[in-house]
Structure 1
């Protein structure tokens, strides 16, 4: 329906957190920044994703700073800039790694209260349009974005439920657990993962296939 090629990873009982592929990389314009997991037991997950992305002709960039930590749930790309949430699993060095990997885009740092992840409260649901939750944490993030973003004309859709604000915007359609009729959208079941505070974006990595082969790993 959306014109996607889906790469489905096989189940691996030795990787209990392997379903959370968002934690392994951020991908933009044919470049994949590979994260360094905080838990040694997750190194195999990163290796699997690196192999797939290299096969898909992405330029692979590894984080050099051994002190850098970053979680995919804290990195939001708007199409114009990156927002990086500083949280219990994403630090300043990790945010600098994003800025280094994608120098053509501004990177704006946001403070996420109570150690939660940025994309648990906000996501893109259309061109220059964000969905944002209704909690105090979400409202604080919106205030920070309005004050510090490079682009000042984002539109926002405020939702009562924070979990509903995590959406996937793919080919002009927003995939969501629940959302009002403001934009074209399709609903996905997420009830079981909601029990462990897992949102839709945690379980996928979205990318366009590079038009030209690029094996300049860094």
Structure 2
């Protein structure tokens, strides 16, 4: 594992956004979500940030919570990042579209090439997109339509494989795959790390993930934030500011 500040593999930074009080009311973006324990949600979010920084050695950048953006902590929905390019998404819900502004600026300040979606007919949720290292899998859902998937392919000049589920190509159970954040290795002697929802949150995922060889599991909990629809992959963006070969 890289030392703190060195970064894990080809990833050097992680971006998260603080949990606002407005999320606890259960009225996030007009969604009528269940009320949640704000203090617990903030603790879980803090632990996630700590593991990204201390356990995985990434430079952590945290956007401040914004009361006008109750679902702002789900910033993984707002961008698809590969290499030095960040595709800023177009959320299905108009109430969530202002969330992309702060993310766009943060990624731009880090030197990434920013691509915005200009097609008003497109919708795209970043957590409906999975990059395997060679291809993108884009799930068509309530949040991502066919045009949004096409824009992923056009942006990264890669094959977009359209499936009925964003993780249908994986052999892990759906709930396990949806709550994994995989950081690929890039340094000699550094094993892959798989940040995942802990067995206490998803008991079945623990058993499935333990079958993966040469992978260090780093469990975290986001059980309270899950009430707001947050999977692990939606709570942070990981990226590299280093040159890509």
Provide the TM-score with structure 2 as the length reference.
Answer: 0.64
Higher RCO (CA 8 Å, separation ≥ 6 residues):
2
Counterpart secondary structure, 1:100: helix
The partner residue of 1:195 within 227, 238, 244 is 227
Any unmatched runs of 5+ in structure 1? 113-117, 123-140, 146-155, 213-218
Pick the aligned partner of 1:158 from 165, 172, 176. 172
Secondary structure at the aligned position of 1:61 is classed as strand
Kept in 2, the 8 Å contact 1:58–1:210? The answer is no
Partner of 1:136: none
Partner of 2:182: 169
CA distance in 2: counterparts of 1:47 and 1:16, whole angstroms: 14
Cα offset, 1:23, TM superposition: 1.4
Q: 1:110 aligns with which of 152, 156, 163?
A: 163
Give runs of ≥4 in structure 1 deviating > 3 Å.
Answer: 156-159
Shift of 1:196: 3.9
Give 1:40 shift: 3.1
Q: Give the number of aligned pairs.
A: 170
Aligned mates of 1:30, 1:37 — CA distance in 2:
22
Residue 149 of structure 2 corresponds to which residue in structure 1?
A: 95
Which position in structure 1 is the counterpart of 2:81? 27
Alpha carbons 1:99, 1:106 under 8 Å: kept:
yes
Q: Quick one: structure 1 residues 197 and 41, their matched pair in 2 at CA, closer, same or farther if it must change by over 3 Å?
A: closer
Aligned twin of 1:46: 100
Following superposition, the deviation at residue 210 of structure 1 comes to 4.0
Partner residue, 2:48: none
Q: TM-score, normalised by structure 1?
A: 0.72
Output the CA distance in 1 between the equivalents of 2:86 and 2:117: 11
Q: Deviations over 1:104-151 (max 9, x none)?
A: x22111123xxxxx2xxx4xxxxxxxxxxxxxxxxxx2xxx3xxxxxx
RMSD of aligned Cα (Å): 1.8
> Conserved in 2, the CA contact under 8 Å of 1:74 and 1:84?
yes
